[in-house]
Amino acid sequence: MTGPAVQPVAVPAGRGAAAAGPSGDRGSATVLVISLCAVLVLLATVLVTLGSVAVVRHRAAGAADAGALAAAARALSGSTAACRKADEVVRAQAAQLLSCGLAGDVAEVVVQVRPGGWLGTLGTVSGRARAGPGTTVP
């Protein structure tokens, strides 16, 4: 059994695999796409990190506000009792009380918060707040 003879077919120039040979462009789109993906991942990492820092900053400010309000509420009990209450409130918010002071019935509190995860190895964030009675305008 013999079948028809197979005739070779000529591929026109500029088409098929032979066209990409000498120019060196073969696979360049893959490199471009991988580079673009790497840039997008880096950008996303930077944005997530900045967002995390902003959240921790707000946590520190909130803890300082709550601690100052707690100390001001106990101002008539003395500085020791007021600062003890401020420390209790600040610790409940996963922060550390750095300083607490009363000037009359105005409390000033400074707190420190360490971010979670790998950001915590870079440092801490501080928050400062003052609280006391409001003043009335005559």
Angle of helix 28-73 relative to helix 79-92, nearest 10 degrees?
150
- Give the start-end residues of each E strand in the chain: 96-103, 106-113, 125-131
**Is there a contact between 70 and 129 (Cβ–Cβ < 8 Å)?**
no
pLDDT number for residue 79: 92
Report mean pLDDT in 10-residue bins for the chain, 138 residues. Answer: 69 56 74 94 93 93 96 92 96 95 92 88 92 71
pLDDT number for residue 15: 55
pLDDT number for residue 3: 66
pLDDT number for residue 7: 75
CA angle 119–122–124, rounded 5-degree value = 85
Distance CA 38, CA 16 (A): 31
Q: Please report, as a single letter, which amino acid is at residue 20.
A: A
Residue 126's nearest CA partner among 76, 77, 53, 69 is 53
pLDDT number for residue 22: 56
Distance CA 71, CA 128 (A): 13
pLDDT number for residue 25: 72
**Is there a contact between 57 and 126 (Cβ–Cβ < 8 Å)?**
no
DSSP symbol at 2: -
